[in-house]
Amino acid sequence: MLIAVGLMGCGGPAPTPGVSGARVYAESCSVCHGADGEGTADAVPPLARHLPRLAQDPDGRAYLVRVLLWGVVGPVDVEGQAYDGVMAPFDHRSDAELAAVLNHVLTAWGNDRRLAAGHRPVTAAEVAVARREPLSGRQMRERRPRGPAERGAD
């Protein structure tokens, strides 16, 4: 599974060598969030444009790492649109795979241009720390940052 190194060689130095975030995205995420990160109307929130905003919240980075591990359940407001769905946990994926896919969605579709100056790529070590504290999707909903994530484009 992990031998697909070098197929997608462009895009600068990877913080998780040997793992392609784009590949993990295509395998596990695009069915819902779409190849273009635009989500599915009324059912699945977009990741394009939205994630850099979420990442800028003081609690956003911790939330993003954990939402990939443990999912999230319950009503969320994304860029002014309400969703009430289920994001499944992906804790069966390795730390390196989750870091890679998170770095992919934070930088794909022009999101890289919206990240705060000084944004650092997510590391597998950050995922490993978060993995030590299993959370339910409901607990993740309670931890979801308010503010920039829900305010939408001002």
Give the tokens for residue 18. 């040997």
Which residue from 14, 16, 19, 28 is in contact with ligand HEC, where contact means CB under 6 A? 28
Task: Return the number of the residue (5 or 82) whose C-beta is nearest ligand HEC.
Answer: 82
Contact call for residue 83 and ligand HEC (CB under 6 A): yes
Residues contacting ligand HEC: total by CB under 6 A: 28
Helices (H) and strands (E) in the chain, counts: 8, 2
Which residue from 5, 31, 116, 125 is in contact with ligand HEC, where contact means CB under 6 A? 31
Contact call for residue 135 and ligand HEC (CB under 6 A): no
How far is residue 35's CA from residue 58's CA, in Å, rounded to a whole number? 28
- Interacting positions 40-79 with ligand HEC (CB under 6 A): 44-45, 47, 54, 64, 67-68, 72-74, 76, 78
Angle at 86 between CA 43 and CA 14, to 5 degrees: 90
Contact call for residue 144 and ligand HEC (CB under 6 A): yes
Long-range contacts of 71-75 (CB under 8 A, 24+ apart): 71/137, 71/140, 72/137, 72/140, 72/141, 72/144, 73/136, 73/137, 73/138, 73/140, 73/141, 74/137, 74/138, 74/141, 75/141
Contact call for residue 131 and ligand HEC (CB under 6 A): no
Give the tokens for residue 138. 């409901």
Instruction: Please give the residue ranges that form the binding site for ligand HEC (CB under 6 A).
Output: 28-29, 31-33, 44-45, 47, 54, 64, 67-68, 72-74, 76, 78, 83-88, 90, 101, 105, 144, 149
